Structure 1
Amino acid sequence: MVDQGVVCSVDSLASGIGGDVLADGGNAVDAAIAAGAALTVVAPHLCGLGGDLFALVHVPGEEVPASLNASGRSGSGADAEALRAEGHVVMPFREDIRSTPVPGCVDGWVALHERYGTRPLAELLEPAIALAAGGWSVTAMFATAGRMLVGVEGAEDLAGLEAGTMTTRARTANALRAIASEGRDGFYRGDFGQGLIELGEGLFTEADLAAFQAGWETPLSVDALGHRIWSAAPNSQGYLLLLALSIADRLDLPEDPADPLWAHYLVEASRLAGYDRPERLFEGAEVADLLAAAGERAARVSADGRVDVPVHQAPGGTTYMAVADADGMAVSYIQSNAAGFGTRLFEPRTGIGLQNRGTGFNLVPGHPAEYGPRKRPPHTLVPALVTRQDGSLRLVAGSMGGDSQPQIVAQLITRVLRNGQSVEAAVGSPRWRLHPGETGFGTWTGDYDIDIELEAGAPGEWSAGLAERDHATAWAEAGGGFGHAHLIEIDLDGHAEGAADPRAQTGTVATHRIVGGSR
Structure 2
Amino acid sequence: MLAGLGPPADPADPGWAHLMVESARAAGHDRLGVLHETAVAPLETAAARRALVDPGRRSPLPAAPAAPGDTTYLCAVDGDGMGVSLIQSNASGFGSLLFEPNTGINLHNRGIGFSLTPGHFAEYGPGRRPPHTLCPALVTRPDGTLRAVLGTMGGDAQPQILLQIVTRLLLHRQTPSAAVGAPRWRLSGGDTGFDTWRSDQGVEVEEGAPWADGLRERGHPVGTAAYGTDFGHAHLIDLLPSGMLAGAADPRALIGAALGR
**How does the TM-score come out when normalised to structure 2?**
0.86
Residue by residue, what CA displacement relative to the aligned partner does 1:393-452 show, whole Å, maximum 9, x if unpaired? 2211211111111111011000111112111111111211112434x32529x9835321
Structure 2 Cα separation of the partners of residues 398 and 511 of structure 1: 18
Paired AA for residue 80 in structure 2:
D
Counterpart pick for 2:179 among 398, 422, 426: 426
Conservation of the 8 A alpha-carbon contact between 1:434 and 1:451 = yes
For residues 447 and 390 of structure 1, do their structure 2 counterparts lie closer, same or farther at Cα, with a shift above 3 Å needed? closer
CA distance in structure 1 between the partners assigned to 2:216 and 2:155 by the alignment: 25
State which of 301, 307, 317 in structure 1 corresponds to 2:59.
Answer: 307
Mapped contact 1:383–1:397 kept (Cα < 8 A): yes
For the structure 1 residues 456 and 351, does the alpha-carbon distance in structure 2 shift closer, same or farther, using more than 3 Å as the test?
farther
Give runs of aligned pairs for residues 385-396 of structure 1, distance below 5 A.
385-396=138-149
Tell me the distance in 2 between the aligned counterparts of 1:367 and 1:374. Answer: 15
2:235 corresponds, among 486, 500, 518, to: 486
AA aligned to 2:158 is Q
C-alpha RMSD of the superposition: 2.7
- More helix as a share of residues: 1
Letter in 2 for 1:482: F
- Measured in 2, the distance between the counterparts of 1:344 and 1:481 equals 25
Question: Is residue 76 of structure 2 the alignment partner of residue 327 of structure 1?
Answer: no
User: Match of 1:443?
Assistant: 195
C-alpha change, 1:374 and 1:324, in structure 2 (3 Å) is closer
| Offset of residue 295 of structure 1 | 4.5
Q: Which of 464, 477, 481 is the aligned partner of 2:226?
A: 477
Shift in Å, 1:316:
4.2
1:382 pairs with 2:131: no
Distance 1:250 1:321 in 2: 31
Once residues 226 and 93 of structure 2 are traced to their aligned partners in structure 1, the CA distance between those partners, rounded to angstroms, is 18
Q: What is the CA-CA distance between 1:264 and the residue it aligns to?
A: 0.2
Alignment partner of 1:337: what SS? coil
Give TM-score scaled by structure 1 length.
0.46
Cα deviation code 1:268-306 (max 9, x no counterpart): 11112111111111256533x52x564544333222101
Partner of 1:225: none
CA contact (8 A) 1:436 1:442 kept: no
Q: 1:267 pairs with 21, 28, 32, which one?
A: 21
Q: What's the CA shift for 1:479?
A: 2.4
**Number of equivalent positions:** 260
> Is the contact between residue 202 and residue 220 of structure 2 (CA under 8 Å) also seen in structure 1?
yes
Which residue number in structure 2 is paired with residue 505 of structure 1? Answer: 254
Deviations 1:446-467 (A, max 9, x none): 98353212123322xx111111
Q: Deviations over 1:178-206 (max 9, x none)?
A: xxxxxxxxxxxxxxxxxxxxxxxxxxxxx
- 1:277 corresponding residue in structure 2: 31
Task: State the Cα distance separating 1:341 from its structure 2 match.
Answer: 3.5
Cα distance in 1 between the residues matched to 2:39 and 2:202 = 28
Q: Distance in 2 between the 1:371 and 1:249 partners?
A: 33
Distance 1:326 1:374, change over 3 A: closer
Please state how far the C-alpha of 1:364 moved relative to its aligned partner.
4.3
Alignment match, 2:204: 453
